[in-house]
């Protein structure tokens, strides 16, 4: 099968999917330059044995006439490649929407990462993006979401896609370490990534304070940046219970930060899935997370982490304490996380499921009932 992957955000996610798909298929990968350089770094450079083509496009906006060159490049490169299916991540740009209108003959698969906008800044989307999103969601032959709960919610939200939505988990992010390090810093609690309102930083701060007041020796490490951080910066920087790494964390820094973590904490108020969970799996770290969206399908209660209700500081602090105070349990959960990352949630397994989604998309595009029955029967 010939597969074109388009991703103007989520570059690392799509790169790892392309890598897994390219073992059995011919793959073309089209990325946004700014996002790709930030998320992939040196991995953008071709390496010996790489079996797929990477095309990187500059990030031209609507008012830049050079945007027309992006449209031309996308359309011409895809037509020259002549894929059996086009798979696009829902990261909307003006030139993507224009290009897709010229590529309607190809079966289209769309991965929706957030079927409902997050609370806070993500909910304040520009009118043009909302306009594009509504139209893009009417175009695909198959939609992929990351979890059964999100699938059920999406079918209600997008009823015209009811029979075209499939649930495929989010694979582990980051480069697989050559050897796993379980020599974490005891009590090192990691809050990682883009800091927006829905990430629940307020609840993390309060839980760390509760634990220290109960003589549980913990340090809250906050690694990342974002608008919600400004609401708590003074409080964090004036308190020795916390360590703040206030910047975008690049590829090279991630292993060191995760290897130090005793527990990765995700006190989200709302979410679908999480790239931070995907990183914690890759580095084999126990997780305490809010039970929101489909996070509970990846953070398995008592297996690789603990789940708590959102916005519940006492429950969050209690779950963290259970892990910090029991090294035997945390070691076992770390091992279980690595098992998930290398088996059920591995990119090889995800690629196989994604191939089946492509077969459904092709059948839907052709209107071939027999082919569709054969493809859906494989799920």
| Pair (17, 125) in one structural domain | yes
Task: Please give the pLDDT value at position 127.
Answer: 73
Average pLDDT over residues 22-38: 95
Task: Please give the pLDDT value at position 51.
Answer: 80
| CA–CA dist 58, 80 (Å, integer) | 20
- Whether 223 maps to a domain, the answer reads yes
Average pLDDT over residues 139-143: 97
130 and 114 in contact (C-beta within 8 Å)?
no
The CATH code of the domain that includes 11 is 3.40.50.2000
Q: How many domains does the chain have?
A: 2
Residue 180's pLDDT band, with cuts at 50, 70 and 90, is: low
| Pair (213, 133) in one structural domain | no
- Whether 349 maps to a domain, the answer reads no
3-state secondary structure of 40: helix
- Whether 354 maps to a domain, the answer reads no
Residues 6+ apart with CB under 8 A from 159: none
| Pair (138, 281) in one structural domain | no
| Pair (165, 271) in one structural domain | no
pLDDT tens digit sequence for 295-314: 999 999 999 999 999 999 99
SS3 for 70-116 is: HHHHHHHHHHHHCCCEEEEECCCCHHHHHHHHCCCCCCEEEECCCCC
Domain that holds residue 305: 188-342
Residues 6+ apart with CB under 8 A from 210: 313, 314, 317
- Whether 359 maps to a domain, the answer reads no
Instruction: Give the chain's length.
Output: 379
- Whether 369 maps to a domain, the answer reads no
| Pair (21, 149) in one structural domain | yes
Nearest CA to 84 out of 319, 378, 357, 274 is that of 357
| Pair (74, 216) in one structural domain | no
Task: Please give the pLDDT value at position 214.
Answer: 97
Average pLDDT over residues 321-347: 95
| Pair (89, 59) in one structural domain | yes
| Pair (201, 116) in one structural domain | no
| Pair (136, 11) in one structural domain | yes
| Pair (83, 196) in one structural domain | no
- Whether 118 maps to a domain, the answer reads yes
- Whether 140 maps to a domain, the answer reads yes
Task: Classify residue 82 as exposed, middle or buried by CB count within 10 Å of its CB (0-12, 13-18, 19+).
Answer: exposed
Report the predicted TM-score, pTM, of the whole model to 2 decimal places: 0.89
- Whether 155 maps to a domain, the answer reads yes
Domain endpoint, select from 107, 139, 171: 171
| Pair (233, 291) in one structural domain | yes
3-state secondary structure of 187: coil
| Pair (225, 274) in one structural domain | yes
């Amino acid at each position: 099968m010939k597969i074109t992957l388009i991703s103007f955000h989520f570059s690392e996610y799509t790169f790892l999917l392309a890598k897994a798909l390219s073992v059995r298929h011919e793959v073309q990968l089209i990325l946004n330059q700014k996002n790709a350089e930030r998320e992939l770094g040196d991995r953008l450079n071709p390496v010996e044995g790489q079996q797929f083509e990477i095309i990187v496009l500059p990030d031209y906006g609507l008012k830049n006439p050079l945007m027309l060159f992006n449209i031309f490049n996308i359309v011409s490169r895809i037509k020259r490649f002549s894929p059996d299916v086009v798979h696009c991540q829902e990261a909307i740009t003006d030139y993507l929407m224009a290009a897709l209108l010229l590529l309607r003959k190809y079966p289209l698969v769309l991965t929706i990462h957030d079927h409902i906008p997050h609370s806070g800044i993500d909910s304040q989307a520009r009118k043009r993006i909302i306009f594009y999103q509504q139209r893009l969601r009417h175009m695909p032959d198959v939609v992929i979401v990351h979890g059964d709960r999100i699938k059920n919610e999406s079918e209600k939200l997008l009823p015209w896609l009811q029979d075209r939505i499939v649930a495929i988990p989010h694979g582990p992010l980051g480069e697989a370490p050559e050897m796993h390090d379980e020599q974490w810093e005891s009590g090192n609690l990691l809050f990682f990534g883009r800091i927006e309102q829905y990430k629940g930083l307020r609840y993390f701060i309060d839980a760390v304070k509760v634990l220290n007041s109960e003589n549980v020796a913990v340090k809250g490490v906050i690694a990342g940046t974002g608008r919600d951080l400004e609401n708590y910066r003074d409080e964090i920087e004036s308190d020795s219970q916390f360590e703040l790494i206030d910047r975008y964390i690049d590829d090279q820094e991630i292993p060191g930060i995760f290897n130090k973590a005793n527990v990765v904490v995700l006190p989200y108020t709302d979410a679908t899935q999480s790239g931070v969970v995907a990183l914690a799996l890759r580095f084999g770290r126990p997780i305490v997370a809010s039970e929101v969206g489909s996070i509970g399908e990846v953070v398995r209660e008592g297996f690789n982490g603990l789940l708590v209700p959102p916005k519940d500081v006492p429950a969050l602090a209690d779950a963290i304490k259970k892990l910090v105070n029991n090294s035997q349990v945390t070691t076992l959960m770390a091992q279980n996380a690595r098992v998930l990352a290398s088996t059920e949630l591995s990119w090889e397994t995800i690629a196989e499921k994604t191939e089946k989604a492509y077969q459904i998309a092709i059948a839907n595009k052709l209107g071939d009932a027999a082919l569709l029955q054969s493809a859906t029967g494989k799920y």
